[in-house]
Chain A
């Protein structure tokens, strides 16, 4: 394939991807409000449009038209840069996520992944994709730390200190929980990790690879990384007003939220790719009679079903669990998740060595 074609495809894919992602983020917020409302025996937003479906649009317009307050005491360059850093980093990592195999359209093989191309015989993607995602998400702590410091408000500073300590503590467990999957897959390329799980759901790393301990470590660490309940100490509104974004208003405030929800999507995608077979159907080994059109839709369908499920679990847990206390949070990460993830690595490698 020629370079110009490749770049043209990449630009189209990026535009589509960002459009879908930002729309999805808006509707995940709506879904969250609806689901939480029903869990609390309320109706949730239902005034704007049918079933409140235009609510995200109304929210967006309101965020843009509200007064953009920049307090006098802030350090302006970093104050403005911080929400941009948070949002930009959360938008980058999605480009490495593969959403399916490839589509064969009008003589072209198009991989459903931004950073991948068709070599003529197979798809080539970034062979250290997982490492890049870990790197980009760990940069996310800058957005939080800088926003709290530059706001020059006591609540913001306390919130950002808490958030920074929490983010870096749980990053350890997050990184180590993925080592078990890497042992099984033997590659850092997300596409190859998914390919190593081809077959029925017994080949998924969660079931077949016996990585359920790793998965629960991953999902707990990821909840902490995205500042979600039960780990939402950085924005604990009963203690810290709103944590590190206390001083932010209008679109800058919304940008922190968009970053958080984009990160939720990335976390859900990674959980799907690493532990739950990516776009592979759970019944793949059975060779059920299906119409040919289904073979084209099926990868995307299964991928989005799984991602949707993990996002729903996020919301479900928010409706269920109370918040940790801060010392409990830190000792849970350091004294429980970290040793457990190391134990998981030792056990997985031992089993692999004995079984090979």
Chain B
């Protein structure tokens, strides 16, 4: 077997193939069900379900602003999580890399703790924001409270 190294992006080819096959499977299921199932139209049957009563109004009404709040907070904290992931991956290589800049050996205490202190500052800043929204009541769901006046 020839040992030519394949380029790295070739790894993503099976994922692309899998996406194509998954689309075919899903599309095939929907098509098969639409073709093989019987269809009998009746006006009542085609209504949206509302406990068997005749439906009233449209479903696209206003809903609680809390859902938007959760979405917003999610984006903030998810960005935090994403920043933590690269730090975590290189954490164990960090002392050796940072030691020369600190003028210390890679086994010294200051070099070993460098990554930890740096991330503690970052997490600390994020936690300040977290406790702010907690105290503001943005995380309370049973609230008819007035605290949520942002």
Contacts and interface: CB of A to CB of B under 8 A. Distances in A.
A11 B58 CA distance: 47
Nearest to B21: A14
Interface string A86-125: 0110011011100000000001100000111101100011
Nearest to A258: B29
* Chain B interface, DSSP helix/strand/loop, else mixed: helix
Most central of B10, B55, B59, B66 by chain A CB within 10 Å: B59
Interface residues of A, number: 98
Interface in B1-48: 1-6, 8, 10-15, 17-19, 21-23, 25-27, 29-30, 32-34, 36-40, 43, 45-48
Contacts of B37: 64-68, 250-251
Contacts of A254: 29
A95 B134 contact: no
Nearest to A88: B22
B10 A117 contact: yes
A208 interface: no
Contacts of A67: 37-40
Interface in A235-259: 241, 246-247, 250-252, 254-255
B18 to A, nearest CB: 4
A219 interface: no
Given A179-B81, A183-B91, A330-B70, A251 B33 contact: yes
Given A64-B36, A132-B15, 8 more contacts: A84-B23, A84-B26, A95-B14, A153-B50, A164-B71, A250-B33, A331-B140, A349-B115
28 contacts: A1-B6, A15-B21, A18-B22, A63-B33, A67-B40, A87-B25, A92-B18, A114-B18, A117-B11, A125-B11, A152-B48, A152-B60, A154-B48, A154-B50, A161-B67, A168-B70, A169-B74, A171-B78, A172-B77, A179-B81, A183-B91, A188-B89, A241-B49, A255-B29, A327-B140, A327-B142, A349-B91, A353-B112
